[in-house]
Structure formats: structure tokens, C-alpha cells
Amino acid sequence: MNENRETIYIGVAWPYANDMLHLGHFAGSLLPPDIFARYHRMKGNKVLMTSGSDCHGTPITVTAEKEKVSPREVAERYHRLNSEAIEKFGISFDLFTTTMTDNHKKVVQDIFLKLYEKGYIYKKKMTAPYCTKCAKFLPDRYIEGICPYCKSQGARGDQCDNCGKTLDPEELIEPVCKLCGSKPEMRETEHFFLKLSAFSERLKSWIATKDFWRPNVKTFTYNWLEVLKDRPITRDISWGIEIPIKGYENKRIYVWFEAVIGYLSSSKEWAQRLGNPDAWKEFWLNEECKPYYFLGKDNIPFHTIIWPAILMGYGDLNLPYDVPANEYLLLRGEKFSKSRRHAIYMLNYLKKLPPDPLRYYLSINMPDTRDLDFTWEEFIKKNNDELVNTYGNFINRALTFTFKNFEKVPEGPNENEYEEIDKEAIEKIKNAYEETTKYISSTDFKRGIKSIMDLAIFGNVYIDRTRPWELLRKDKKRCGHVLHISLRITKALAVLSHPYLPFSTQKIWEFLGYKDNLSNRKWEDALEDIDAGQTLTKPSPLFKKLELSDIIEAEEKKENALEQLSKFDIVKGKVKSVAPHPKADKLYLVKVSIGEEERQLVAGLKNYYAPSELENKDCFVVANLEPAKLRGLESQGMLLALDDGKEHVSLLTPLTSVADGSRLAVFGRKASRPKPLNSLTEFQKLDIRIGTAKDKKENILFVDIGNEKEIKIAAENLQNVDNVIGKRIAVLIDTENSGFLLSTEDGTLITFDSQKPVPDGARAR
């Protein structure tokens, strides 16, 4: 039993569920707490790490209005995608939830009422921006203008991305409504205010005890304290948590008050899921618990002033112990920004490359005390020179040579057989352990990984100086001693770097012959010797060298499937006549009615359909392609067919009867009316496939698209969804395991020509 066991709560800033997570999120607030949590778990400490998707912010409603869908649909989609990115990158949350749960609502409303009853929340009239054209009050993200501090364009009503200043809408120069572009006017409205001024002295006294906080955190906090004022915590919006007081049904609790309460609500949800509803108290009522909050610098005042003030007002809950906020990771000299799409998105990266090279880069280049610029060139250099040539090279040399010549861990030297270089190696392991322990425990992750790399550098020096390849011929016993110590260094590296490189170190652990999960091992195992006689498994290289061409596709966010689909006007039609193309053996001339007009199409279906099989068939046509001549005859669009890439081809058709001229869209949405296109190149990016609807859980429809692949589709608005189960339907693929259901605008689902069946996974071409 570990008598010195610590209790650690780790709160991670809640990202907005309005787009995919990018590298800035992971460098700033996701990777650091994961390193910290993994370390403390291996130390035997009691750890709880929670966070979730912030689903009620105006960024979600802005995206929803742009896409003409509900805020819930946007939030659920991006929560799903971001949860996938978090899991694949190895972020080890105990719970990653959302702010849309009944539990979160209950906790938020309880705190709101308690503070209201104590006089820390009060009502007050104020003026707020109102758009006469849109006929509504404009929350801060609905307003854009010129930043009053740095004078950059596109500053929002809550913050300027360029300089990082927190703003109020009335501070903007030349403000305009983001929805319609008109200038808002100021109108009176009533809101609830958090009485921050009541906590000013208590906050100052409390912060004065935090002499170990990072300088940037203390500076940011003191700057806010100098002008601390009461702030409105409600807004004139319809999406969010209801105010638990009658008469305010058209207002909602605003996100910056609500989201930080997610730390408490997620802890309670974790306890409920654990089957021990009181388990959260160990982390919130136990004065010995140390709560750490990890975030980017733009979130500092919410965690060092607003959240502590809420906790002080509520009473009896632990205040933050440390708030190790990071500075910004920049891209080409500018802050990562989802709204401006100036970003590298994690899921795109993970499609091309494994997580650990990026985990290493973001650790060794962590923006802990100053902004740092990300470049692919620097990433490649770090990967090739340090991970491959230093760390990976040592591991591979030690394991490969030992496995080839011994297959097992050789006997180590006795006490009187240690040479000076061997003693130096053991001392280096001890130093690396002590330094890494010191740096990770004080949230200095950059220096922690550097200590580990110093040990890897020494590992290569040790092999170079002892030259085991020569000893193998001259003195096999001494060769075994050298390799034993090399494997002891390898074991220490695996343990110490596991919080940073969990995927690669698990492989090292298994190469060393261990069968268990390294995460379950003790941190002190780094100091322990490796058992002689332990059977090794055949090693393979941990990392590979990269070229810029290997990863350049991951740099910018690829268009998502909705953006791709919006470029095409896909219309339901009916084949009226079919004739052979006079100048091509495999082509037909097909006349298709698409409602009010008839089109001539050139279609390559002669090897798959007889003319009589095509006539009077329902079909879909890409109608906004500019006319093009194919083998001398004009084609006024493209007939869509599903192709399995082998021998099966089938027309894309509606599942039930629908009028000619009906347009294809994502289920529950309106089709776009895009401009004409003069090339089919863009269509090749669109991934429409046939699949079988297998199951529905909550609001998710699971569709099998063949080759043992299943995608998830949000089915919130799908009526009678159970009637779809078992049907073969067309879906639009978005990411590796998510997509959208396709239909005509009236909700008729899409399938294939039943007379020409194709397997699941067949793609529209």
C-alpha cells in the first residue's frame, strides 16, 4: 500500500464542438494533462482527469445557422469526431463528456440558484447589440469588427484572435452582424450578473499564495484583477441551459459561466458511471486533493478568477491548486483558428501518420512559456534527427543485436564485474529518473522529455564505446554484460517516456518480453534491473524517417463531405430513351427527363445494361456540369451509377417513388444550388457508397459499408429510423468512420437499381 499516495484532480479546458480539433488544442491543453495523468497513475497516485465538449457556445449556433441544421446536430457531430481524435492520439481521459447531459444541467442550475440566493448573482438592466434586420439580440460571437487594441480586422465580440485580448461587443470598432452584415444598434435588456467584485480581496489573497504558478498565468490574472468588474452570465439566446427562475424562459445561462462548472458535473457523472455516486467527493471535498487545470492562455482568467469566484461563492469545494496554462502554438506566425480555418486538424494528421512522432514534437517544443511556431520542416527534422536517429536508433541497436545473438536477456555483471562505463550507465539511469520525476511533477514537460533524450543519447554512446559486436567474438560473457545494461537502459527509457510516447513504449515493453500493459507498471520500475533469461520478442523499428511529401496533404484541412456535396446539383430523373453511341463501343446516348427539361447524357453503361434494362429507370444526374463533348457528341451532365470496382454496376435510384427534378441532399437538409462546373475532378473527391443499416443506438445509426467497415451516422431527425434497419441505402462518407445519410429533399432515401445488385461499399461514379 502506497502510504504517500496523492490525490490529483486534472481538469482539461472544454473545446467547443463546432469544428474538428487541431494541433493547437493538443499542444495547449490536451497533451500536457495526459502526460501528467499517465505519470501520476504510474506513481500510484489517485487520479481523475475529466473534460468534454462545450456544446452551448455561440460558435456552435453560428455553425448551425450556416449549415441550416440544429445546434444539437452540430454539437453531436463534432463531439463524435473530436472524441475519435482524442482517443486515437492517446489522451487518457477518465471521462470525456458533453455539456448537453441532464447531469450537467442539474449541477449548473444548482450552483446558479445557490449563488443567486447568497446575493452573488443579481439582476440588472444593460444595453446589448441588437440587429434590426435579423430581429434579435446578438451574442458576442455574432458580432465582428476591428479590435480596439491591435486594430486587426475580424475581431469577435468576445475576443480578438490576433492579440488574444478578451473583449466586450461594445468595444469593437465598426461592428457588424455576422449573419447579415448590418450595423447593430444598442438596446436595453435585463440579465443576471455574477458579482465578481465581491470576491476581489479573497481572490487577491488566494493568488498571493501561488508563488509556484507560471509567470504568464500570474501576470494575466493580476491584469484582470486590476479592473475586476461584475459580468453578465446570461444571454438572449435559445440554445443553452435554461435559467432556473420563472420569467426568463427566452434567456439562457451563458457558456463562460456554465462551461467551467463542467469540471464538477463531469466528476459527478464519472462517479455515477463508476457505480459509486459519492466517489467525486474524494476530489472536491478532500482538502488533500490537488486540482490542476490545463488550458491555453486565452482561458486563464476563467480558471484563475471566474471559476475560483464561483467556487468561493458556492462554498466547501476545492479551489485550483495549479493552472499550468500554455502559450499559443502558432501556424505560419499566426494563432491556430477554427473560425478562420487556419489549422492542421488532428484527424487529418492521424490518417497519414502515427500519434507518437507528433506527441514527441509537441512535448519537446511545448509552448509553455512563450508562443512557438509549428512548421512541417521542423517536425520532420525532430522526427528524423531525434526520434529516429537517436532514441529509435539506440532502442533498435540494443534489442536487435541482443535478439539476434542471445534471444534472451543475457546475464548482467556481478558487483565486482562492473566497469566504469557500466557504473556511469547506472548513474545515468538514476539521474534521468530523478530529473524526469522532478520536471513532470512540476508540469515542466519540455525539460522532462529532454532528460529522457539525454539518456537515449548516452545509450548510443554506451554501445559505441563498449563495441558489443567485437566483444561477441572476443569475450561473449562481457558482451552479455554490455547488452544486459543496454537493455536496462532500454527498460528505463520505456518507463520514463511512457507518459510521452505511450504507443511506442508499449511496443518496446513487449520487445523486452513483458506481457502486461506498461501503463499498469510502477514509475519506480525504471530503476529496477531487468531479469536475466527473459525471452525477447523479435524487434522492429519504432519510427520511420519522413519526407515533406509524406505529410504535406495533412497540412491543411481537407474539405469535409458537406462542403464537397454542396458543389453538385444532383437531380432525380427518369430515362426516356437509350441509343448506342455511333463512335464508341462502350457508350450509350441516354435521354433523361429531370423535371421541366430533358438532358442528353453520354453514359458508359453498355457493358452492364441492355437498352431495354435502362429505359424508364429512375436515376440521378449531376446537372450542373457544363456541356462537354464525348467522342464527338454532347453530354449535358453525368448519370450516376454505383461501381464495386470489379464487375457490378448499378444505377443510383430512390428507395421509393419520387418526382423527377427532386434534388439529392443530406437527410433533413435542403440541397444546394451550386454554380456550373467544367470538370469532373471535384466529383472524384465525393465518396458516396451503398451500405446496410445494421443498428441504432441512441441517436446514432450504424451502417455497414463492406470489408468489415462500419460508419456512424447522426440519426436525430430520422423519423421511424427502426424501419430503415436492414435496408441498403446510400451514405456520404465524411471521415474514416462517420458520414451522412443521403435522401431527396422530401426525405426519400437513396439506394441502387434492384435489378442490378451491388455489394456494400460500391461507390458512386
DSSP characters over 155-223: EESSB-TTT--B--GGG-EEEEETTT-PPPEEEEEEEEEE-GGGGHHHHHHHHHT-TTS-HHHHHHHHH
Is the confidence at residue 555, as pLDDT, over 90?
no
Residue pointed to by grid coordinates 455574477: 194
Q: Mean pLDDT across the stretch 387-403?
A: 98
CATH placement of domain 121-194: 2.170.220.10
Helices (H), 442-516: 445-466, 468-474, 476-496, 502-511
- Whether residue 337 has pLDDT greater than 80: no
Strand partners, 470: none
Q: Residue 57 — pLDDT band, cuts 50, 70, 90?
A: confident
Measured CA to CA, the distance from residue 655 to residue 508 in angstroms comes to 52
| Apex 726 CA angle, 724 and 731, nearest 5 | 65
Structure confidence at residue 556 (pLDDT): 45
Q: What's the Cα-to-Cα distance from 362 to each of 86, 135, 284, 445, 733, rounded to whole Å?
A: 15, 46, 31, 10, 30
Tell me, what's the pLDDT at 534? 97
| 564 contacts: CB under 8 Å, gap ≥ 6 | 682, 685, 686
| pLDDT score at 721 | 59
CATH class of the region 7-108+254-344: alpha beta
- Residues with Cβ within 8 Å of residue 414, at least 6 apart in sequence: none
Q: In the structure grid, which three cell numbers stand for residue 515, read together?
A: 506481457
| Residue whose C-alpha cell is 444526374 | 621
DSSP 8-state secondary structure symbol assigned to residue 30: I
Instruction: Give the β-pairing of 664-666 and 738-744.
Output: antiparallel
Cα gap 337→270, rounded to integer Å: 31
- Would you say the C-alpha torsion 241, 246, 251, 253 has a positive or negative sign? negative
Percent of the chain with pLDDT over 70: 96
Of 73-77, 128-132, 328-332, which gets the smallest average pLDDT?
328-332
Give the distance between the most distant pair of CA atoms in the chain. Answer: 96
Which residue stretches of 43-94 are H helix?
A: 58-67, 71-88
Number of neighbours of residue 321 by Cβ within 10 angstroms: 15
Set of cell numbers at residue 53: 465538449
**Is the Cβ–Cβ distance between 225 and 207 less than 8 Å?**
yes
For 342, the 3-state DSSP assignment is strand
Among 590, 696, 679, 596, smallest CA distance to 639 is for 590
Q: What is the DSSP letter of 531?
A: P
Please state the rounded mean pLDDT for residues 627-654: 92
Residues 574-595 as b or e (16 or more Cβ within 10 Å = b) = bbeebeebeebeebbbbbbbbe
Give helix then strand counts, H and E, for the chain.
24, 34
Does residue 554 register a pLDDT over 50?
no
In this predicted structure, the answer to whether residue 163 has a pLDDT above a threshold of 80 is: no
Least confident of 153-157, 458-462, 543-547: 153-157
How much is the average pLDDT of 709-733? 78
Pairing relation of β-strands 334-335 and 372-374?
unpaired
Average pLDDT, the chain: 92
**Which residues lie below 8 Å from residue 642, measured CB to CB, with a gap of 6+?**
648, 649, 650, 651, 652, 689, 690, 730, 752, 758, 762, 763, 764, 765
| Mean pLDDT for the stretch of residues 401-405 | 98
Q: How many residues does the chain have?
A: 765
- Tell me how far apart the alpha carbons of residues 94 and 98 are, in angstroms, rounded to a whole number: 13
Contacts 24+ apart (CB under 8 A), 388-392: 388/543, 388/544, 388/545, 390/453, 390/456, 390/457, 390/460, 391/453, 391/456, 391/493, 391/497, 391/542, 391/543, 392/541, 392/542, 392/543
pLDDT value at position 40? Answer: 99
Those residues whose C-beta lies under 8 Å from the C-beta of residue 745, and which sit 6 or more positions away, are 662, 663, 665, 670, 671
CB 216 within 8 A of CB 325: yes
pLDDT band at 645 (very low <50, low <70, confident <90, very high): confident
Average of per-residue pLDDT across 716-721: 58
Average pLDDT over residues 621-631: 90
Write out pLDDT tens, residues 509-544. Answer: 999 999 999 999 999 999 999 999 999 999 999 999
Question: How much of the chain exceeds pLDDT 90, in percent?
Answer: 71
Give the global pTM: 0.77
Q: Find the angle CA(597)-CA(601)-CA(606) to the nearest 5 degrees.
A: 140
If you average pLDDT over residues 28-33, what whole number do you get? 97
Q: Poorest-confidence range of 231-245, 401-415, 677-691?
A: 677-691
Q: Which region among 205-219, 332-346, 540-554, 644-658 has the lowest average model confidence (pLDDT)?
A: 332-346
For the chain, report the end-to-end CA distance as a whole number of angstroms. 63
Reply yes or no on whether the pLDDT at 341 is more than 70.
no
Per CATH, the homologous superfamily of domain 357-548 is Isoleucyl-tRNA Synthetase; Domain 1 (1.10.730.10)
Q: Which residue has the higher pLDDT, 141 or 197?
A: 197
CA dist 389 and 14 (Å) reads 37
- Give residue 353's pLDDT: 92
Q: Which tens digits make up the pLDDT trace of 725-753?
A: 889 999 998 877 788 889 998 889 999 99
Q: Can you give the pLDDT at residue 283?
A: 99
Q: pLDDT class for 557, splitting at 50, 70, 90?
A: very low
Q: Lowest-confidence range among 203-207, 464-468, 653-657, 714-718?
A: 714-718
Domain boundaries, the chain: 7-108+254-344, 121-194, 357-548, 561-572+619-764
Strand 628-630 relative to strand 618-622, pairing? unpaired
401: helix, coil or strand?
A: helix
pLDDT for the residue 69: 86
pLDDT of 256: 87
The reported pLDDT for the residue numbered 213 is 96
Average pLDDT over residues 603-617: 94
The string of pLDDT tens digits covering residues 5-27 is: 999 999 999 999 999 999 999 99
How is domain 561-572+619-764 classified at the CATH fold level? Answer: OB fold (Dihydrolipoamide Acetyltransferase, E2P) (2.40.50)
**C-alpha grid cell, residue 713:** 451516422
Would the pLDDT of 1 be above 50?
Answer: no
